[in-house]
Structure 1
């Protein structure tokens, strides 16, 4: 069996409510759907987050095509090394989602050939369902409380919100509102996306702690692990590394520095599903739990990650998803959350099928206005935020 073509389709799916963080906002999600075709008629599907943009992903896919077409799709390690070494992509970060999408499609092909769900190939089911958090989008206290209440009514147990506002008091007020809406037993996770200085991070986390925080994600720069370790030693809330842990090599450094209590991992940022499993293994050896990060995923990439997470023991916290923000999806049977958990698909391969009508609709939406769902904020564009906040 040989790969004959790689087909890419950028799509733009709207959000129910804007996603807002320390650096701006976006109104929807752009992803690039990838189909890897073979000479034996088996097609695998994958998905790349449009990181840093769909144009970059599409250019990366065109660049790796000569290194992939003609290869055996079952030789995933060979393909990856061929791209990383022969293609001199071994310093990947911005180009990683493109390779990750091809990797995902190849795993889909392999599992389809075997007639097995992908979870079987990654070690078999350690768990049947995987836990996810409810995303409370950037909003004022009243809206945050209502969004948290809605998530609690749907059965979610963990609530995630962005922090890093110019005034720490505003963030504390929103955390209190989420506690009010979610209830006394809910877990609350905050993510500053590197917005704070060490002093601000310590003040902010201590001020939020009375409202009960599960984890504080990337409070300070991910480029200074000694600084992260400093903050970690001065707060009671466990820290989650994210921008500090894009790849398995970064995660090894987080472990060495004692910079976090939990580590965010992401196959899109590290070029493939097997690397996601490797990341979790590094952290398990260090006694650390892992959390699946998302650059923004639709149903295809979500299914792929589900298979790996279900086969990996140390995914013990709720993982990131966009379920509470997405207004639609591009698969025929969208994932249905039951009390914040998703079952692992049972069908062969990834176990999902593209809804061609929806793919066409959202591909047209992207083509009409490619920038409509990008991170744009007029205020941020005219007065860029000065970070870190003190």
Structure 2
């Protein structure tokens, strides 16, 4: 069942206004249909877990947030939520302080690549920040609704009225393996250059995208070079990116950069880790982007001073929220490093949050990533729309979105009643349904 804290109306100490104090917190884990998208770790499962967070103020205003829904996040979110009764929604700095008090079970923290986000090494601190991010967004939403202000105004004001997103292309199967739960998928297979180009055409026709990113690391590099070349021919002059998630050696990365240097906007995480990325950067003029070797402030110094990356793909889910994203963008600007946005499988709440913070970041010169077009299900009353590859920045109070409670209940019911193994994203396990002998490849893969 949805977790709910007892209602509490007592006035906090000091001058905190009662109407802005948190009275209720609701945590609703859901399973959302996901197509069989391929990456170097395996394939997406039929359903992906997400966690919907609601904070309710003492005067009944509700704010919403969203983050990863795997068990390790939920197990941390529950004790964190239990501390929030009486906490002002405006005290965003205090959220991190409260999270630091919660112990993280070391057995549930992976030290290798986190397949849920393909985001590099995961630590207890990163796990906490991924949970805090959803609560920060929910508090900002509630605060904005209470004050009649959009979230971007609470973040200092927007510098653009719409945020550009790229078409996120994937190699994919036509359907999930036989015996897997039935998920919705109307896209068909994309396993060669022609399939990738057709996928890009459909995304462009539906959403108006004008830049394209291909998730690589799936097939040998020459096949993925051919796919990018086919995209360049089909969409001449359009920005193209390729992301093999650290699957290549330094030598392979340099070869691919050499062969595609005339068409790539940037090459994302071709090799694994800052030292390898620095070697690649030193040997090519193609800009390198990352969401794997720079995922915390502590990782910035080495990457920037070694010239390992030229674009950081931020993600408010694991940087700790929208304000931390702004801080990251400011550091990038100081070092002359570009910034854009990474995307994990997400719903409309996260897309709204991404759009609000992106609207406040100066110098956002690269289209942001988004999985949203791949998600056939959502928890909002109205889906967010891309027009000309852009999402308009809402000026409505808070995030400007509304929960569809009936739909939320359906997706939560799936989480309650479905296969418990699907509550933790595991791309390798999903791949073993089709190939029982599948082993997560050692890196570098090529």
1:1-390 equivalent positions in 2, closer than 5 A: 1=18, 2-15=21-34, 17-26=35-44, 27-50=46-69, 54-84=70-100, 86-87=101-102, 91-138=124-171, 139-140=190-191, 141-153=193-205, 154-181=207-234, 183-210=235-262, 212-222=263-273, 225-367=274-416, 368-372=418-422, 374=425, 375=427, 376-378=430-432, 379=435, 382-390=438-446
Q: Residue 191 and residue 28 in structure 1: after superposition, are their counterparts in 2 closer, same or farther (change >3 A)?
A: farther
Cα distance, 1:372 vs structure 2: 4.5
Please give the alpha-carbon distance, in whole angstroms, between the structure 1 residues aligned to 2:421 and 2:236.
Answer: 40
Q: Does the CA-based 8 Å contact 2:56-2:142 persist in structure 1?
A: no
Please give the alpha-carbon distance, in whole angstroms, between the structure 2 residues aligned to 1:45 and 1:279.
Answer: 23
Q: Residue 251 and residue 294 in structure 1: after superposition, are their counterparts in 2 closer, same or farther (change >3 A)?
A: farther
Q: RMSD of the TM alignment (CA)?
A: 2.0
Please give the alpha-carbon distance, in whole angstroms, between the structure 1 residues aligned to 2:320 and 2:103.
Answer: 14
Cα distance, 1:257 vs structure 2: 2.1
Q: Residue 305 and residue 380 in structure 1: after superposition, are their counterparts in 2 closer, same or farther (change >3 A)?
A: farther
Cα distance, 1:175 vs structure 2: 1.5
Cα distance, 1:48 vs structure 2: 0.8
- Contiguous gaps of at least 5 residues in structure 2: 1-17, 105-122, 172-189
Secondary structure of 1:104's partner? helix
Secondary structure of 2:140's partner? helix
Q: Does the CA-based 8 Å contact 1:248-1:275 persist in structure 2?
A: no
With the length of structure 1 as denominator, give the TM-score of the two structures. 0.92
Q: Does the CA-based 8 Å contact 2:65-2:138 persist in structure 1?
A: yes
Q: Residue 264 and residue 380 in structure 1: after superposition, are their counterparts in 2 closer, same or farther (change >3 A)?
A: farther
Cα distance, 1:381 vs structure 2: 6.2
| Worse-superposed segment, 344-353 or 69-78 | 69-78
Per-residue CA distance 1:177-206 (angstroms, 9 max, x = gap) = 33344x102211110111111111111222
Secondary structure of 1:377's partner? helix
Q: Does the CA-based 8 Å contact 1:145-1:179 persist in structure 2?
A: no
Secondary structure of 1:29's partner? strand
Per-residue CA distance 1:137-182 (angstroms, 9 max, x = gap) = 113222101011223334211111111245221111222233344x
Please give the alpha-carbon distance, in whole angstroms, between the structure 2 residues aligned to 1:149 and 1:241.
Answer: 26
Please give the alpha-carbon distance, in whole angstroms, between the structure 2 residues aligned to 1:145 and 1:322.
Answer: 17
Larger radius of gyration: 2
Please give the alpha-carbon distance, in whole angstroms, between the structure 1 residues aligned to 2:229 and 2:420.
Answer: 37
Please give the alpha-carbon distance, in whole angstroms, between the structure 2 residues aligned to 1:251 and 1:161.
Answer: 25
Cα distance, 1:253 vs structure 2: 3.4
| Worse-superposed segment, 147-156 or 339-348 | 147-156
Q: Residue 286 and residue 381 in structure 1: after superposition, are their counterparts in 2 closer, same or farther (change >3 A)?
A: farther
Please give the alpha-carbon distance, in whole angstroms, between the structure 2 residues aligned to 1:242 and 1:163.
Answer: 14
Please give the alpha-carbon distance, in whole angstroms, between the structure 2 residues aligned to 1:372 and 1:177.
Answer: 35
Cα distance, 1:249 vs structure 2: 2.7
Please give the alpha-carbon distance, in whole angstroms, between the structure 1 residues aligned to 2:437 and 2:422.
Answer: 15
Q: Does the CA-based 8 Å contact 2:49-2:422 persist in structure 1?
A: no
Paired residue total? 381
Cα distance, 1:123 vs structure 2: 1.4
| Worse-superposed segment, 17-26 or 370-379 | 370-379
Q: Residue 166 and residue 125 in structure 1: after superposition, are their counterparts in 2 closer, same or farther (change >3 A)?
A: closer
- Contiguous gaps of at least 5 residues in structure 1: none
Please give the alpha-carbon distance, in whole angstroms, between the structure 1 residues aligned to 2:401 and 2:357.
Answer: 15
2:108 is matched with which residue? none
